[in-house]
């Protein structure tokens, strides 16, 4: 493993649930020895990407990311666009909305909105959405290049619920079906009691830039409700692509299937 890969594997252990981690924890979680982990932390601290908390001697993410994040957002204002699209889709659908982008091992939420009512599907922004177990991940793979699909399916595939599909042949059949339909539709595969539908949006690359999704209680996503929500998702995707590239890239069939 190269030094940069090792450094990124250390950084990847931080989350909203694990904002501060000790040297031993980081070493164990990243699969590195303590001496190597310490050297990486010292180097990253020197550039402001991590910092050590004086009281606990644990490490947390530093301010160095803020400058890079602002440069990225100024160059490609993806987070702002995603937030605006979430606002619009929430108003239209009155269901939990989230927009995610692909990472090395799953989809990462960059914006989400919740309806103002009881019994809604909550979103944990820092939670990784596995490619094989989520509507967003599967629809990304449905429209991704074969090389990207192969890399994704080579990752470990945990069975998160009784309904999670882990068999590669079955996943490829699902991916082919979702590509033909233009959207993905799953129930109880990531979290029991939750259903989701998702469509990809594109930027300038061959692979999708991300996915827009709606999450509902599984018993609320009836066939009639799904058919009603699909045109709204399609409009949301068009808004994303128009804001990012100036031209929506048609991927979803004009006549959405009812089955």
Q: Could you give all domains of the chain from N- to C-terminal order, each with its CATH number?
A: 3-66 (1.10.10.10), 76-245 (3.30.450.40)
CB 100, CB 210: distance < 8 Å: yes
Sign of torsion, CA 15 18 23 27?
negative
How open is the CA angle 223-249-177, to the nearest 5 degrees? 40
Query: Do the beta carbons of residue 211 and residue 98 sit within 8 Å?
Result: no
pLDDT tens-place string over residues 140-192: 999 999 999 999 999 999 999 999 999 999 999 999 999 999 999 999 999 99
User: Cβ distance 168 to 181 under 8 Å?
Assistant: no
Distance CA 237, CA 239 (A): 5
Residue pLDDT, tens place only, 221-241: 999 999 999 999 999 999 999
- Interval 105-146: pLDDT, tens: 899 999 999 998 888 999 988 889 999 999 999 999 999 999
How far apart (Å, rounded) are the C-alpha atoms in residues 161 and 6? Answer: 31
């Amino acid at each position: 493993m190269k030094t940069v890969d090792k450094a990124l594997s250390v950084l990847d252990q931080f989350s909203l649930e694990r904002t501060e981690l000790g040297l031993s924890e980081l070493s164990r979680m990243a699969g590195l020895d303590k001496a190597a982990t310490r050297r990486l932390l010292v180097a990253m601290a020197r550039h402001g990407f991590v910092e050590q908390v004086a009281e606990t001697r644990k490490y947390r993410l530093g301010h160095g990311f803020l400058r890079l994040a602002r440069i990225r957002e100024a160059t490609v204002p993806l987070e702002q666009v995603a937030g605006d699209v979430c606002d619009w889709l929430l108003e239209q659908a009155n269901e939990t909305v989230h927009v995610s982008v692909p990472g090395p091992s799953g989809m990462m939420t960059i914006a989400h909105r919740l309806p103002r009512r009881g019994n809604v599907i909550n979103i944990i922004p820092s939670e990784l959405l596995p490619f094989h177990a989520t509507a967003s991940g599967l629809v990304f793979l449905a429209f991704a290049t074969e090389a990207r699909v192969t890399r994704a399916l080579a990752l470990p595939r945990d069975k998160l619920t009784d309904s999670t599909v882990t068999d590669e042949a079955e996943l490829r059949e699902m991916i082919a079906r979702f590509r033909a339909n233009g959207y993905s539709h799953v129930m109880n595969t990531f979290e029991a009691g939750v259903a989701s539908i998702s469509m990809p949006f594109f930027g300038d690359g061959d692979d999708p830039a991300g996915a827009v999704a709606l999450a509902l209680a599984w018993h609320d996503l009836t066939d009639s409700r799904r058919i009603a929500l699909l045109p709204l998702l399609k409009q949301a995707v068009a808004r994303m692509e128009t804001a990012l590239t100036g031209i929506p890239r048609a991927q979803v069939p004009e006549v959405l299937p009812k089955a």
